[in-house]
Structure 1
């Protein structure tokens, strides 16, 4: 009997409760063929809260895997129902019992479980990485960890790698933590409680900025593509449909675009920059946060996006002055300030009001056909380099056969505006085209951090499965007393707020 089925037989109380609630919600095992799923009209997905997978925001659910699942449900013509489990052990247990159609756990197709589930790769590759606290000596290999404890989450890809390495390194030892997620492991490495741990590289990329005392030592093994898991009790019709659908997204570029939204800007804060930003969030932001909130609301912008712009411009310093004459917290030019009715650029309130008003004006210039969040990316680039230069870059993009309405394409062509062979072909000529790309990517990262730190904040993983979202209708049948999913990212604002900010 497999280790996962054994775990169910001797399951802890919370896992038994999980299965009991699943029975209440579903009444019985799920349909086992694609045709039956279409007839029922609902795609049941079990997942866990993680920025790389699924997050519930006040503006709605988001996350890389969630966005793909939503599109897949639309492709099938069914509604998407999401339930949240506390960890991967619970997800795998639910799948083993066939109480969900798909499991999104952030796992690759491990050899140890490959025969127990159907799997389909999702386009994101990751590998196990050894992390350590900066105050301890950096290990160069697993051999350096002999006699020391390495910490890992339960039912991860990392246990298998450690088991394989132990044949050559018998003194290698590790501790599995069923009650922790990757963020919990990272926080303990940050504090020094854990000296060494192993997590997935994509998880480290998304969370590094929050844990500046955590460093990567080395990677273990080759990168593997993360996968969706399907119950073995199903036939392979749903898995094959998912495989075909994701291949279509690869071909038409949508998969790359979604990947860029969540992963394309994660390298923008190094160790020093992250520590400085987090220090300023505590020491400077509280003084100006009420003003960001007030004027963001007036001009229908997410206040965290407005604050991120302000940090990129001046590090929230109201008396900032540049050699080129722009000044103030939002670094407005004299002409811009005059145009929007700002008299004193060094007054923090006037500057923030002016920045909000100007960004709204710029945002409204971007064609409405461009969907969010790309429309906001373009607005930020225009805020920095000017609308005319942005349009020049979009024309160059189109002439090269790429999509001028996609930020991931246009950001490749903006730097060409600094090269004579390219800017001589444009209407507005030379521009330092690298600057708006860096500008936008930095603001996306600052926004990402602020969105995870502020309103409403992260909650612990759910202790039992909970219906948190269903596309097409309000989820009224959630079990009582379940924990709400954490809020760490957002792909959209509530409709009344207008400007949709970036997601990572």
Structure 2
């Protein structure tokens, strides 16, 4: 009897085990569930390096990279924007997002709680101070001024490590309320002495705060990666690693890096100060003409204004040694073709230059997508369409894509080398000039967009109010 019961219990157990194995084998993993639902959810934050809305819709390095990952999986991307870093991590922990793409540094502390993908960028942590004010020379000098960083950031982790290992007297403040741009603004206005930012963020924002500078690097290079919640099912994490490891995506990463970071070294301290000064003095005079010309030809008026500044520093009587004249620096023949009777009239010059740029863009054809179409048109505005065509031909011969600015800008300087230009239709050209020309315009455009849409200029009282109204936690010294 007992043996019969034993056999029955064994049979039931085996059946249950088989059923468990069977149901476990058919249950879709996380990657399969994402594909079944046709959507993947990313959590990020509003910042110039992660995600923001511009006139054409969602943008940002992290956003475009994540959207490419979603396309790779064959699903749509759903974006959740968190208020701060702590909210990003809690969104992951509660399962409201599949992964976080927000310029997150892969640290040992964070790895205890989250799984990180392969890195796709490296940055250094930099101490930022105001020119002409207290400058820290080394980490021990941080104890001599007021320092603020974001709560939950890798910077806060590093400061804690420094406090325990080297500088027990170090004290600083942390806040979840302020973004990097806010803290840089407070350093610029003198409300705080220092802050710490990642190098890629300061590269993007430095031109908006020309009185700020790097005191020193607080870290070696750190890996930036996507974060996933810890789970036995790592199918999505593995899919991300496969995405970054795919050689076909190398061009995508290079293109995004060029688009968002490739032009950032074109505006130094002196140039940024001069540009901001000229903007406040001159731009309002010509802004209505740029706005109307932009509306007529499908350009952001701020791009046209950036062209005007690059050409003449908004000087309507400017003249070059080659005879081009006016605010948009038109040649006599081009002005005649465009119906511009007086090149020194700023309105005629702006409308003529904008019409000419639109024609160049149209000649490139629909096969060239934006924003590359605009960058290539700008290069042609500077060097001539024939030379641009030659450079695109060289690009193709070298195995590059003649429709991508990333590739063409490497070929343009070759037009000054005989072994290349001797085989072209239009011959020699100073090919580095259109590269610098386009990159400068892109940087001026960035600053004009920032000035208008981000409202980065605050009074000292407004900065003090922002600081006082924020949730601030003071980290005391270990003394």
1:139 to 2:150 alignment:
no
The aligned runs of 1:255-266 (5 Å cut-off) are 255-266=253-264
- Tell me what 2:167 maps to: 169
Alpha-carbon shift at residue 173 of structure 1 (Å): 2.0
- Give SS of 2:266's match: coil
TM, length-normalised to structure 1: 0.82
Alpha-carbon shift at residue 336 of structure 1 (Å): 0.5
- Give SS of 1:212's match: coil
- CA 219–262 in structure 1, closer or farther in 2 if over 3 Å, else same: same
The aligned runs of 1:184-203 (5 Å cut-off) are 184-203=182-201
The aligned runs of 1:414-453 (5 Å cut-off) are 414-453=412-451
Does the 8 Å CA contact 1:33/1:234 hold for their aligned counterparts? no
* Higher alpha-carbon deviation: 92-101 or 245-254: 245-254
Alpha-carbon shift at residue 239 of structure 1 (Å): 1.3
- Tell me what 1:123 maps to: 120
The aligned runs of 1:29-48 (5 Å cut-off) are 33-48=30-45
- Tell me what 1:114 maps to: 111
Does the 8 Å CA contact 1:292/1:303 hold for their aligned counterparts? yes
Alpha-carbon shift at residue 340 of structure 1 (Å): 0.9
Residues of 2 paired with 1:456 and 1:111: CA distance?
Answer: 34
Does the 8 Å CA contact 2:149/2:196 hold for their aligned counterparts? yes
- Tell me what 1:229 maps to: 227
Residues of 1 paired with 2:322 and 2:144: CA distance?
Answer: 58
Residues of 1 paired with 2:152 and 2:79: CA distance?
Answer: 21
Residues of 2 paired with 1:343 and 1:391: CA distance?
Answer: 29
- Tell me what 2:84 maps to: 87
- Tell me what 2:474 maps to: none
- CA 84–249 in structure 1, closer or farther in 2 if over 3 Å, else same: farther
Report Cα offsets for 1:246-280 as digits up to 9, x if no partner: 22266541111111100000111111111111122
Unaligned 5+ segments in structure 1 are 1-30, 460-504
- Tell me what 1:212 maps to: 210
Which one of 267, 284, 296 corresponds to residue 286 of structure 1?
Answer: 284
Does the 8 Å CA contact 1:249/1:255 hold for their aligned counterparts? no
TM, length-normalised to structure 2: 0.86
Does the 8 Å CA contact 1:314/1:320 hold for their aligned counterparts? yes
- Tell me what 2:362 maps to: 364
- CA 43–457 in structure 1, closer or farther in 2 if over 3 Å, else same: farther
1:407 to 2:405 alignment:
yes
Which one of 243, 246, 263 corresponds to residue 244 of structure 2?
Answer: 246
Residues of 2 paired with 1:329 and 1:314: CA distance?
Answer: 5
Unaligned 5+ segments in structure 2 are 1-27, 458-479
The aligned runs of 1:446-461 (5 Å cut-off) are 446-455=444-453
Greater per-residue helix proportion: 2
Report Cα offsets for 1:196-227 as digits up to 9, x if no partner: 11111111000001111111011122112211
- CA 162–234 in structure 1, closer or farther in 2 if over 3 Å, else same: same
- CA 210–445 in structure 1, closer or farther in 2 if over 3 Å, else same: same
Does the 8 Å CA contact 1:154/1:177 hold for their aligned counterparts? yes
Report Cα offsets for 1:42-99 as digits up to 9, x if no partner: 2111111001000012311000010011111122222211121111111111111121
Alpha-carbon shift at residue 338 of structure 1 (Å): 0.6
Alpha-carbon shift at residue 144 of structure 1 (Å): 2.3
The higher radius of gyration belongs to 2
- Tell me what 2:327 maps to: 329
Does the 8 Å CA contact 1:89/1:154 hold for their aligned counterparts? yes
Alpha-carbon shift at residue 172 of structure 1 (Å): 2.1
- Tell me what 2:54 maps to: 57
Residues of 1 paired with 2:455 and 2:232: CA distance?
Answer: 37
- Tell me what 1:468 maps to: none
- Tell me what 1:473 maps to: none
